Structure 1
Amino acid sequence: MIDPKDTPAHSRALDAIARLEASRRRAENTVIGAPREKTTVTVELLRRLAGSKYASPELRSFAISVATGDSSWDRIEVDAQPLPPEVSDMRADPMVIWPRHWPLPSDDEPYRIPWQ
């Protein structure tokens, strides 16, 4: 009689078990949700975002006003009506750095003389 341990089927089963065990170890050692680096909002980032197929209609509309020279990306919070949802999402995300030197919406902006 043939010993079952000497059959090709037994060897294939042991190989399959070894591959399964190796896969399980790799899965256990995989880091999910690794911390990402903070992203700084730039004009280029907003331009690329507005050009993506996922951009909101509000962001696309503001991109048109930037392209025509009616506004600039750094004034998106002041001039965009309504404010694109992407801006609110980025402002609320702790991993996104919003530039401090960009104008903020405010009712207390100083009056500017038109010829200045």
Structure 2
Amino acid sequence: MKTIEDPEVIQAFEKRLRNELEETIRLIEESREHRAPVALDQQSVGRLSRMDAMQQQAMAQDITRRRQQRKIAIERALSRIRDGEFGYCVKCEEPITVRRLDIDPTFEACVRCAP
């Protein structure tokens, strides 16, 4: 059975987190043009098309906010790896099960302490 004390387990989580961080940063950068302000040029774009563009812009901004939050969570998990605290609950300091971390390696709390 895999445990959080196993260095290979920690390395696997670190690699997974680094890959996800790289992908998240790439997606944030790619969405930059979709978050840009919508021009008020009704000669080239009708009112409904502009409203649609504004709705798409709002959705892109929301997705970016969620990606930024995920980026922060990943960076915090990588920091816990560097500090030797990864895989331990921030509240009770007991180990978090590897199965729970497999679901999301950014979890900071065990099942008992999770909100």
Same fold (TM over 0.5): no
- Under a length normalisation based on structure 1, what TM-score does the superposition of the two structures give? 0.23
* Relative contact order higher in (CA < 8 Å, ≥ 6 apart): 2
- Under a length normalisation based on structure 2, what TM-score does the superposition of the two structures give? 0.23
Which structure shows the bigger proportion of residues in helix conformation?
A: 2
Who wins on radius of gyration, i.e. which is larger? Answer: 1
